Amino acid sequence: MQPINILGVGRTDYNPKPDISIPEMVHRAVQAALADAGLTMKDVDARVTASADLWDGLTASNVAITEVVGAVMQPEARVAGDGLLAACHGAMSILAGAYNVVLVVAHCKSSMGDSDGITNWTFDPIFQQPLGLNDVAASALQASTLSLAPPLPCPIADGAAAIILSHASPLPTPHLIGMGWALDEHYLGDRDLTDSPALREAARRAYTLADIDDPKRDITFVELSDQFDYQRKLWASVLFGKTSEVAHTAKTSEVSARGVPPFVAGLDRLIEVVLRLRKESGTALAHGCWGPCGQGQAVVVVRQ
């Protein structure tokens, strides 16, 4: 694929912000990304936003942020999912030739509601929801299949992240050279929770586009979405193989995505990768996941 330049990145901190509105929080991240790219909103052709209605307590939750993402009388697509998926879609629309400069924004305030209550509503209503499953309970099941202790609940976190993508750049910026995303099966009983075929598929697609034959050799470092502590090890083993787990998890960053809000985490991983690639050259992998036990998986490969 034609490389996509990452012109700028911006994010808020992820401390709980009970008094801050979603538009103001998103505005801070967008302003930071524009400043980082040295652009104004007039330079942006289109936006892809990522948010989740039930977490925001708002129907069509991107309505609240229309103005702060500059979408008035402008194109916007809104992905109801993780911000890394929104970044992939933004890159697709640039590859399509639809837009030159795309702003990608993700937000969530997990302090607003009851995550355990909300995530119960991600399970199918007929067989699994009545069991009282939620993300924490499902992750405890997943941890037990790995013979690990039950995971700690996710910390409450609020924040927004933004990146600006373009097909061309006047400066040498880190560029997105591969991406892939996939959905796993839904019913926990249908899945081998010690594995993630969706992540393997997402990575395969990303490696193919990036011409990576041997990820263990070619990937310099990795930023993983580890909403629960055991997940870092699991995703690393799926990506790089269980036999050499230790060697290859060493490539995973010490910067955890724990404490980054859901739906922001994947985009935050991409920002982390970009910031590091501005200091050292290499080929890095950013990972995002969403849904019960990481049912949805996305991988982006960035090179500098």
Binders of another protein in range 95-114 (CB under 8 A)? 95-98, 109, 111-114
> What residues from 70 to 89 belong to the interface with another protein (CB under 8 A)?
70-81, 85, 88-89
Question: Residue 142 and residue 194: Cα distance in Å, rounded?
Answer: 7
Distance of closest approach, residue 17 Cβ to another protein, in angstroms:
6
Distance of closest approach, residue 77 Cβ to another protein, in angstroms:
5
C-alpha closest to that of 8 among 31, 42, 28, 26? 31
Q: Is 63 one of the binding residues for another protein (CB under 8 A)?
A: yes
Question: Residue 131 and residue 123: Cα distance in Å, rounded?
Answer: 9
- Choose which of 7, 8, 14, 27 interacts with another protein (CB under 8 A): 27
Query: What are the distances in angstroms from CA 23 to CA 31, 71, 88?
Result: 12, 13, 23
Bridge partners of 297? 182, 289
Size, binding site for another protein by CB under 8 A: 82
C-alpha distance across the termini of the chain, in Å: 16
Q: What are phi and psi of 13, to 5 degrees?
A: -75, 175
Distance of closest approach, residue 299 Cβ to another protein, in angstroms:
11
Distance of closest approach, residue 202 Cβ to another protein, in angstroms:
8
Side-chain-side CA neighbours of 68 within 13 Å: the count stands at 24
Structure-token match 């099941």, residue found: 141
CB of 108 within 8 A of CB of 159?
A: yes
Site string for another protein, 209-248 (x = CB under 8 A): x---------------------------------------
> What residues from 111 to 150 belong to the interface with another protein (CB under 8 A)?
111-114, 117-119, 121-126, 129-130
Pairing of strands 283-290, 221-223: parallel
Pairing of strands 76-79, 158-166: unpaired
Q: Which is nearer to another protein, 45 or 229 (CB)?
A: 45
Q: Is 192 one of the binding residues for another protein (CB under 8 A)?
A: no
- Choose which of 6, 22, 29, 302 interacts with another protein (CB under 8 A): 22
Q: Which is nearer to another protein, 174 or 296 (CB)?
A: 296
- Choose which of 8, 103, 138, 181 interacts with another protein (CB under 8 A): 181
Q: Which is nearer to another protein, 23 or 282 (CB)?
A: 23
Q: What are phi and psi of 171, to 5 degrees?
A: -115, 155
Site string for another protein, 29-48 (x = CB under 8 A): ------------xx---x--
> What residues from 253 to 272 belong to the interface with another protein (CB under 8 A)?
none
What is the maximal distance between C-alpha atoms in the chain?
A: 55
Helix axes 83-95, 265-277, angle to 10 degrees: 70
- Choose which of 3, 83, 266, 291 interacts with another protein (CB under 8 A): 291
